[in-house]
Amino acid sequence: MRLLQNLLSPASPGAGGLTVLLLLLDLITPAATVKHENFKTCSQSGFCRRNRAFADDAIAAGDKWSSPYEVKEDTIALQNGVLTAEILKTVPGLQEKVVLPLTIKFHKTGAVRVTIDELKRQKGEIELKGQSKARKERYHETERWALVPDWDIRDEKVVYDNRKGQITLKFGPESKYKAIVTANPFSVKFERDGETHIVFNDRGLMNVEHWRPQPPAPEEGKEKSPEDLDGGWDETFGGNTDTKPRGPEAIALDITFPGYEHVYGIPSHATSLSLKTTKGGDGAYSEPYRLYNADVFEYIVDSPMTLYGSIPFMQAHRKGSSVGVLWLNAAETWVDVVKEKPKKILPIGGKSEDTKTHWISESGLLDVWVFLGPDPATLYTSYGALTGYTKMPPSFAIAYHQCRWNYVSQEDVKDVNKKFDKHDIPYDVIWLDIEYTDGKRYFTFDPLTFPDPMSMMKNADKTERKVVLIIDPHIKNTENYDIVDELKSKDLAVKDKDGNIYEGWCWPGSSHWVDAFNPAAFEWWNSLFTFDRFKGTTKNTFIWNDMNEPSVFNGPETTMPKDNIHFDNWEHRDVHNLNGMTFMNATHQALEARQDSKGRTQRSFVLTRAFFAGAQRLGAMWTGDNEAKWEHLQAAFPMLLSQGVAGFPFSGADVGGFFGNPSKELLTRWYQSGIWYPFFRAHAHIDAKRREPYIAGDPYTRIIREAVRLRYALLPAWYTAFHRASQDGMPILRPNFVVHPDDEEGFALDDQAYLGDTGILVKPVVSEGVETVDIHLGDNEVYYDYWTYKIYQGKGLKNYPAPLDQMPVLMRGGHIIPRRDRHRRSSGLMKYDPFTLVVVLNDKGNAEGHLYHDDGESFDYQKGHYIHRKFTFDSATKSLSSTDLHQDPPTAEAYNKVVKSLLVEKILIVGVSKAIKASVLAKSKNKATILEDGKYRKASMVYTPAQDNTFGDTLLIRNPKVRIANDWTVYLDKKDAGGAVKDEL
Ligand SMILES: *[C@@H]1O[C@H](CO)[C@@H](O)[C@H](O)[C@H]1NC(C)=O
């Protein structure tokens, strides 16, 4: 978030008048969108410009081009599943070749890692410019933060064959994957099922800018040395000069996906799910996708411009195959995407195009992971085995969050709380933005407006509600503030290039930044959040980390200078995209370390704005400062789908739009869309009018209430989807191509999605004045309208009525949806509520579904204290049964006793005539037969015929009272229940 007034307010000493003036000039823009000129284009970023030019030259030279990289064959060795070799780079005019150590590692899951380093820099045999204290090696610690601690599980059964300059490595499950390394010029081809799926340096665009001393300036009239790279030494942008103590050091590689027309991922960009071309082709974009975490407020939509977070994971998908790459580099990165007709014969199922990508990073190792699929689910599982799966959040975190900048006082908070109850709208969390603090000093409350935060926390807790407080990484540089004193005395702040504590501007004015790369900073951060130390916080207080790109108002591109120095003398340049995640990690650990008076801990909830691959292990993200405009509502769904593909599904966009004032229609449509965001929060700028959902009045408030209630009813399904994501990386909100991987018409679809495994298909209305939408069905299965059970069937587009009070929601046949239908004020108050199971039969009369449930707050689930059920409706026995999916049932016994009273109150079967005839139902006298704990009993059934054959008929089983934690079977026809039943009933 951003506001001019805040910069005008308490100006601290230390910043020169000129800086302030420049800042103001910079920010006084009534214009509604981001100032492009504050952010670099590729041509304004030296290393991107150089590498794009290098690519242009290579491509223009065509067959005459030869990549100057060659594997020195006598250095090749394979040991314990790791191939090592030296790559030699030929440099024109240089006798000596540059030595680049290569390693190829094979992971148990079939993933492969290719890493290229630089020998001179490994050995520290280079000179830095000036007095710099920066490290001499290429940055190689991205894995420490991005990958799970136990990522290095080798496949040691790699089979290796080296002949005629070609090294073939067989690996992966049943050794059916192949990596073929060509020595000269260096390239790697990855094969699966006898087809090539991924090629490195296919186009010869690989480039490793080796270290060299800065050549002297050329004499008058002489050409400059070819070693004197354009923009390689120091670079000035927007009045800030980057001193580049190590000179040019970029790395680049082209990665081709032959026969793949669609690539997804590399969030965050306000763009379509299926990535567009950035060079030539249809001319969609002319700039590469950029990954450089930045505070790009009021961002424009449909753009490859960088945003707040970066995940350099890309998936390529075609009918019959999904593969991916992780570019493990946290420096500024640009990615060009080109689609071309292939010259060669197409692979089976291959479409008419190859996708060719070109990755360029400013510094660090060339370090790429390859995943060979073969399908989306397997791909996500193997990617998650490296970067981790979604953290299981506390259950309140997936309910509704109410935020604005700002709820101005504790009375205001209590008033909002009361009004939600008065209007019967459930919510779980109220949020406090920066104004709650005492003059932007984090870990304090403003004594005038929040004199007694404890009473506010307790008031929220009465209805099981939570309070989230913002805590940012910039620490106010001021007198009499213990936090900044400790930051300085413990030496835990980021340094400038000269090794002095770095000072810049943010909300508090002059500030310093916590260096969360320092292990000692973690320890200190932990100590700040204890209930003793952070007075006014309680068990129901959680944290929001904003501005952690980091945002620095007077820094280059609104962030930190790249030559700033972090812990262990790494330059900010190397770690920029990791910065936000390390800070989020520290906050996450601090929240998990908090103990109540009985020594109990609980799950954390942290929302972050900046992120990198792996941040899914820590909490949630949102898409930053969007606008109250229809196009921003449209942009949100594709962005969130992209987050899911890239392994970080716990994501949301500000409901209502952060900047500006949405019309009542837009606000209502945004809620109808927002209830499908994995992270569901409304937020508004300080200048925006109040827009809590009760303000609009009916019919808007009524429609919003219905929408929010639907989210609450489906919380068991959401929680189950989160659980799956936490186990195997399957996205929570799934795009069409994930659910129907062979439906080519749906590969680019990003305005509709499925909720987990529930078969619920939604297509939110994101345009003004719309009365109907077209929903694409990815298969020929039967789909039912969520409310009316109207049938939609047949692959392709189906028209669906969508006036303002109707949300387009379908249920795909073959699924069972767990719900809780009683209206409560918060999810915490639903704890003991009974469940409803909606059984949606498929064309064959069968259905299956899952439920995961635990206490929603403690870590006991890790000890087995959870319920995990599988529900199956079988048309042969006309019965619904519940079976156990628990991994270790004895460990669940204690918990099962706690949840003994949790029952199923309703079973609703949709499309019932697919499994059983109404006449048979009549014979059973509208009684279902239930078998539970070895005993039979009955429950009444109500059959509702369809009004005509364009609707599904339903059967409601009332109060079966089966236990949610138990095994049981409900038979529709007594005859199927077995011989014993006649005697007992
Ligand atoms: C947090 O950072 C620590 C390093 O201090 C690392 O070991 C740990 O894996 C990170 N935690 C998560 C959940 O990413």
- Nearest residue (CA) to ligand 1, atom 5: 519
Measured in Å, residue 151 CA sits from the centre of ligand 1 at 13
Which tokens sit at 796?
Answer: 């392709």
Confidence of residue 151 (pLDDT cuts 50, 70, 90): very high
Confidence of residue 776 (pLDDT cuts 50, 70, 90): very high
Of the candidates 143, 907, 970, 981, the one whose C-alpha atom is nearest the C-alpha of residue 575 is 143
Alpha carbon distances (Å) from 385 to 153, 371, 379, 727, 928? 10, 11, 10, 10, 44
Confidence check: pLDDT of 696 > 50: yes
Looking at residue 22, its pLDDT comes to 42
391 lines ligand 1 (CB under 6 A): no
Contact 322, 375 (CB under 8 A): yes
Q: 749-758, 789-798, 920-929: which has the minimum mean pLDDT?
A: 920-929
Q: What is the pLDDT of residues 394-451, one digit of tens each?
A: 999 999 999 999 999 999 999 999 999 999 999 999 999 999 999 999 999 999 999 9
What is the 631 CA–ligand 1 centroid distance (Å)? 37
Is 894's pLDDT higher than 50?
Answer: yes
> 2 pLDDT exceeds 60?
no
Residue 344, pLDDT score: 62
Q: Which of 34-38, 278-282, 456-460, 883-887 has the lowest mean pLDDT?
A: 34-38
In this model, does residue 348 exceed pLDDT 70?
A: no
Average pLDDT taken over every residue of the chain: 94
Q: How far apart are CA 764 and CA 776, in angstroms?
A: 13
Measured distance CA(329)–CA(155) in Å, rounded: 23
d(CA 453, CA 458): 9
Cα(572)–Cα(794) distance, integer angstroms:
54
In angstroms, what is the span from residue 148 Cα to ligand 1's centroid?
8
Q: Which distant-in-sequence residues (6+ apart) come within 8 Å of 734 by Cβ?
A: 641, 644, 753, 754, 755, 756
* Average pLDDT for 765-770: 98
Q: What is the mean pLDDT of residues 374-387?
A: 98
Comparing CA positions, the residue from 38, 630, 632, 619 lying closest to residue 306 is 38
* Nearest residue (CA) to ligand 1, atom 11: 585
617 lines ligand 1 (CB under 6 A): yes
849 closest CA partner among 835, 859, 866: 835
Question: Tokens 């000493």 map to which residue?
Answer: 13
DSSP for residue 139: P
CB distance 769 to ligand 1 below 6 Å: no
Neighbours of 237 (CB within 10 A): 15
pLDDT of residue 908: 98
Question: Tell me, what's the pLDDT at 359?
Answer: 98
Centre of ligand 1 from the C-alpha of residue 585, in Å: 6
For CA atoms 606, 608, 611, 613, give the dihedral sign. positive
514 dihedral zone (left: phi>0; alpha: psi -120 to 50; beta): beta
The protein residue whose alpha carbon is closest to atom 1 in ligand 1 is 585
For residue 578, pLDDT beyond 80: yes
* d(C-alpha 73, C-alpha 118), whole Å: 18
pLDDT in tens, 509-524: 999 999 999 999 999 9
d(CA 672, CA 202): 46
Domains of the chain: 25-128+152-214+244-387 (2.60.40.1760), 395-729 (3.20.20.80), 834-984 (2.60.40.1180)
Please report the pLDDT score of residue 25 as a whole number.
40
More confidently predicted of 921 and 804: 804
Say how many Å lie between the CA of residue 463 and the centre of ligand 1. Answer: 34
| Whether the predicted pLDDT of 347 surpasses 90 | no
pLDDT attached to residue 503: 98
Phi, psi of 144 (to 5 degrees): -60, -30
Judge whether 618 and 542 are in contact, CB under 8 Å: no
C-alpha 514 – ligand 1 centre gap (Å): 16
Nearest 5 degrees, angle CA 118-CA 123-CA 126? 80
Instruction: From 598, 609, 616, select the one nearest 548 (Cα to Cα).
Output: 609
Cβ neighbours for 712, distance < 8 A, ≥ 6 positions apart: 399, 400, 426, 820, 823, 824, 827, 830
What pLDDT, in 10s, does the model give residues 592-601? 999 999 999 9
Ligand 1: which residue has its CA nearest to atom 8? 145
Q: Which residue, judged by its Cα, is nearest atom 6 of ligand 1?
A: 145
Whether the pLDDT of residue 11 is over 90: the answer is no
DSSP letter for each residue of 198-242: EEESSSS--EE----PPPPPPPTTPPPPTTS-TT-S-EEETTEEE
Lowest mean pLDDT segment, chosen from 223-232, 329-338, 899-908: 223-232
Substitution site in 150, 583, 588, 589 for ligand 1 pocket (most atoms within 8 Å of beta carbon): 589
Looking at residue 711, its pLDDT comes to 98
Which atom of ligand 1 lies at the shortest distance from residue 522's CA? 5
Determine if ligand 1 sits within 6 Å of the CB of residue 522: yes
Q: Is the pLDDT of residue 20 over 60?
A: no
| pLDDT, position 442 | 98
Residue-level pLDDT at 985 = 54
Q: Is the CB of 618 under 6 A from ligand 1?
A: yes
If you measure from the C-alpha of residue 614 to the centroid of ligand 1, how many angstroms do you get, rounded to a whole number? 10
* Catalytic residue set: 546, 549, 625
3-state secondary structure of 422: helix
Choice from 585, 592, 604, 617 to test ligand 1 binding pocket (greatest atom count within 8 A of CB): 585
High-pLDDT (> 90) share of the chain, %: 88
**Cα distance between residue 229 and residue 52, in whole Å:** 13
The number of the ligand 1 atom at minimal distance from the alpha carbon of 615 is 14
What spacing in Å lies between the alpha carbon of 582 and ligand 1's midpoint? 8
215-241 pLDDT, tens per residue?
998 888 888 888 999 999 999 998 999
pLDDT tens figures, 832-887: 999 999 999 999 999 999 999 999 999 999 999 999 999 999 999 999 999 999 99
**Residue 698 pLDDT more than 90?**
yes
Backbone angles phi, psi at 77, to 5 degrees: -145, 145
Instruction: Dump pLDDT digits (tens) for 647-679.
Output: 999 999 999 999 999 999 999 999 999 999 999
Name the pLDDT band for 294 (thresholds 50, 70, 90).
very high
Give the per-residue pLDDT at 924.
85
CB of 934 closer than 6 angstroms to any ligand 1 atom: no
The residue with tokens 């493990």 is 328
* pLDDT for the residue 918: 84
Ligand 1 atom nearest 585 alpha carbon: 1
Give percent of the chain with pLDDT exceeding 70. Answer: 95
Tell me what pLDDT residue 282 has.
Answer: 81
Q: How confident is the model at residue 922 (pLDDT cuts 50, 70, 90)?
A: confident
Say what the pLDDT of residue 921 is. Answer: 86
Residues 441-492 have pLDDT tens digits of: 999 999 999 999 999 999 999 999 999 999 999 999 999 999 999 999 999 9
**Is the model more confident about 352 or about 716?**
716
Indicate if the pLDDT at residue 1 is higher than 90: no
pTM of the predicted model, to two decimals?
0.95
pLDDT 10s digits, 209-221: 999 999 998 888 8
Kindly tell me if the per-residue pLDDT of 625 is higher than 80.
yes
Q: For residues 384 and 339, give the distance between their C-alpha atoms in angstroms, rounded to a whole number.
A: 28
Q: What is the mean pLDDT of residues 259-273?
A: 97
Report which ligand 1 atom has the smallest distance to the Cα of 588. 13
Whether the CB-CB separation of 572 and 560 falls below 8 Å is answered with: yes
Rounded to a whole number of angstroms, the distance between the first and last alpha carbons of the chain is 66
- Residue 9, pLDDT score: 38
Check pLDDT > 90 for residue 88. Answer: yes
- Is the Cβ atom of 150 under 6 angstroms away from ligand 1? no
The reply to whether ligand 1 has any atom less than 6 angstroms from the CB of 879 is: no
Is the CB of 271 inside a 6 Å radius of any atom of ligand 1? no
* Distance between Cα 287 and ligand 1 center (Å): 34
759's CB contacts (< 8 A; 6+ apart) are 811, 812, 813, 814, 815, 817, 840
Choose which residue among 141, 145, 575 to substitute to test ligand 1 binding: the one with the highest number of ligand atoms within 8 A of its C-beta: 145
Confidence of residue 980 (pLDDT cuts 50, 70, 90): low
Confidence of residue 923 (pLDDT cuts 50, 70, 90): confident
